[in-house]
Amino acid sequence: MKELDYQGAFRRLEEIAGLLEEGSLPLEESLRLFEEGTKLAARLRATLGAAEQKLTIVPLEESADE
């Protein structure tokens, strides 16, 4: 699987959720998609966490310069 940017990963996660919600896939395919979705969700959480840290650090650095 090629590396997706944040928006691409989010869209893929939404697609997987939709497919799983339909409930019409074979068990093996559902499990594979569930695993892919879990990995995508973890990656998205990590990306958001890193962005949140940067946003927290920037104001602290700016106030230290004053």
Look at residue 45 and tell me if it is in a domain: yes
Residue 24 phi, psi (nearest 5): -105, 0
For residue 2, give Cα distances in angstroms to 26, 42, 45.
24, 17, 19
Q: What is the pLDDT of residues 7-53, one digit of tens each?
A: 999 999 999 999 999 999 999 999 999 999 999 999 999 999 998 88
- What residue has token string 């959480």? 45
Look at residue 25 and tell me if it is in a domain: yes
| Total-model pTM | 0.76
Write down the pLDDT at residue 56: 81
Which residue range(s) make up the domain with 47? 6-65
Look at residue 1 and tell me if it is in a domain: no
Look at residue 16 and tell me if it is in a domain: yes
Domain count across the chain: 1
The better pLDDT of the pair 64, 18 is held by 18
